[in-house]
Homo-oligomer: A and B are copies of this chain.
Amino acid sequence: MADMQEESLFEAPPIAEQERMVEAILFASADPVSLREMAGRMPHGSEPLIAMQNIQKRYSGRGVEIVQVDQAWAIRTAADLGFLMQRETVETRKLSRAAIETLAIVAYHQPVTRAEIEEIRGVAVSRGTIDQLLELEWIKIGRRRQTPGRPVTFVVTEHFLDHFGLESARDLPGLQELRAAGLLENRPAPGTEALPNNKNSEVIQENLFSDPEDEPID
């Protein structure tokens, strides 16, 4: 208090200077600051309200705004720029083998229950795989099968047909065609099955021009 008295001997700083002070105080405070508190920190005779109103105008329309919170003031990000506080990254990944196989089974056998998918694949189908395909909107839940337990069935979606450029699921190549394309004779060597597709397609190319029976890959 003693310093205040002392300071009052000096004139209050010019309003532009007061604006700088308010700006700095608002910037560096962890909580909204009341006018009273500002006045307490600024040189005696300062008028934080006027300074505040001036800088509020100055910041109007900028990337940050001076907002009133109860009886106090704070600098906040402009509402329309909230998206900048998120950093989005997009990554493109190949669908897992389990998901592709499950999807293929749904496409070729729809409507199909989970138990049937497992029977055809010969391994359990994880909840995650089904969820992933549902989320991608490539499969959806169809009608319940009228068998004991009334299990749900899965069918492919319009979105799936769109994505794979098919007019209907009936357009999917049949077993005969797969065979003709060499796909059914594609006998991958153990350990190479999970290799990227380009490798596999090379194998397929090879297979088209040779007798598959004599063509063990490695």
Interface positions of A (Cβ within 8 A of B): 2-3, 19-25, 27-30, 40-42, 61-64, 75, 77-78, 81, 84-88, 90, 92
Given A21-B63, A24-B64, A87-B40: A2 and B77 interface contact (C-beta under 8 Å) = no
Query: Judging by beta carbons under 8 Å apart, are A41 and B77 in contact?
Result: no
Query: Judging by beta carbons under 8 Å apart, are B63 and A22 in contact?
Result: yes
Q: Determine which residue in A29, A42, A88 has the highest number of CB atoms from chain B within 10 A of its CB, and name it.
A: A88
Assembly stoichiometry (copies): 2
Distance to closest chain B CB from A43 (angstroms): 9
A81: chain B residues within 8 A (beta carbon): 20-21, 24
Query: Judging by beta carbons under 8 Å apart, are B84 and A24 in contact?
Result: yes
Known A21-B81, A28-B85, A28-B88; further 9 A-B contacts with Cβ < 8 A: A20-B63, A21-B84, A22-B63, A23-B62, A23-B63, A24-B78, A25-B63, A25-B85, A40-B87
Given A75-B27, A84-B41: A19 and B63 interface contact (C-beta under 8 Å) = yes
Closest 8 CB pairs of A and B: A23-B63, A20-B63, A24-B63, A24-B77, A24-B81, A27-B64, A3-B90, A41-B84
A19: chain B residues within 8 A (beta carbon): 63
A144 to B182, CA, bound (A): 57
A2: chain B residues within 8 A (beta carbon): 92
Distance to closest chain B CB from A62 (angstroms): 6
A140 to B66, CA, bound (A): 38
A28: chain B residues within 8 A (beta carbon): 77, 84-85, 88
A62: chain B residues within 8 A (beta carbon): 20, 23
Given A19-B63, A63-B19: A85 and B3 interface contact (C-beta under 8 Å) = no
A42: chain B residues within 8 A (beta carbon): 84
A85 to B25, CA, bound (A): 7
Query: Judging by beta carbons under 8 Å apart, are A77 and B27 in contact?
Result: yes
Query: Judging by beta carbons under 8 Å apart, are A85 and B24 in contact?
Result: yes
A75 to B26, CA, bound (A): 12
| Contact of A64 (CB < 8 Å), options: B23, B30, B41, B77 | B23
